[in-house]
Amino acid sequence: MGLPMASRLAGAFTITGYDPLPASREKAEQTGIRCAASATGAVADAGIVLLAVRDAAQVESVLFGEHGVAAALAPGAVVLMTSTVGLDAVASWTARLTEQGVALVDAPLSGGPVRAGDGDLLIVVGAEPRALDTARPVLERLASTLTVVGTKAGDGQAMKTVNQLLCGVHIAAAAEALALADALGLDRRQTLAALEAGAASSFMLSNRGPRMLEGYDDDVAVLSRLDIFVKDLGIVGNASRAAGLAAPVAAAAEQLFLLGQVQGLGTADDSAVIKVIAPRRRTTEEDTDGPQTPR
């Protein structure tokens, strides 16, 4: 997500980027993004620092690790955190940045790389008003839907946690439904079209469904890795337990993604979770052999 966001922002702002992988920096430079040789070099004189990382450990490292950038930020700067990392460490990051006069804007996003490049992301934001005003032009450049859900960092993570509960469950449910249709001998594509037209439709069914069917025959492009939902549904589980709330459906979905990761599908597109439920699809030859045996 980092490179398409940087490319989108470069159309309106002066951008300096950094990635720890030299190949990623080279790719960025080929698309016209100026890159620094270090993270601290990238944030020199920056008013807004956008982080696009994987998890809370990476946020901690890039801000406060051995080569962390927090110490290089000037008072008045804003850290714009776009990743889904959970609530646990947000208060600590906010407090440490505040001591330096730096604000944290909690703005997890979703939509995928293509939509990031088009400025068509969904972004939910938790931030104090002054910091939000500073970051708003950047957020509006990236988002087609920008929803401010609270006035403190952490509110964005809370909202994204709820969002990811539904997304993970919907992907798992779509996989189960299409696998069942296949086991019952139904035409897969006709089934998907019929489901999309009725009350059972969902964004994830329409978006992941075709990739679930294609993925049995060919490798599909990885638009969202399966192991991202291992992380995100883990965040959902931690948050629900901390709130004293049972979330059994989310827990069941998490187990499917965990099984996929164990089976070597972690770096595959998350639509590959259907292979956990039905490791192989019904073939044309099997269609003519009578009733199907569930597998």
| Active site residues per annotation | 160
* Beta carbons of 274 and 265 less than 8 angstroms apart: no
Phi, psi of 65 (to 5 degrees): -75, -170
Contacts for 212-221: CB closer than 8 Å, 24+ residues apart: 212/174, 212/175, 212/178, 212/271, 212/272, 212/274, 213/178, 213/188, 213/189, 215/268, 215/269, 215/271, 215/272, 215/274, 215/275, 216/274, 216/275, 216/280, 216/281, 219/268, 220/269, 220/271, 221/269
Ramachandran area for residue 124 (φ above 0: left; ψ -120 to 50: alpha; else beta):
beta
Please, which residues have CB within 8 angstroms of residue 234's CB and are 6 or more apart in sequence?
Answer: 254
Count the neighbouring beta carbons within 10 Å of the beta carbon of residue 71: 10
Helix (H, G, I), strand (E, B) or coil at 109: strand
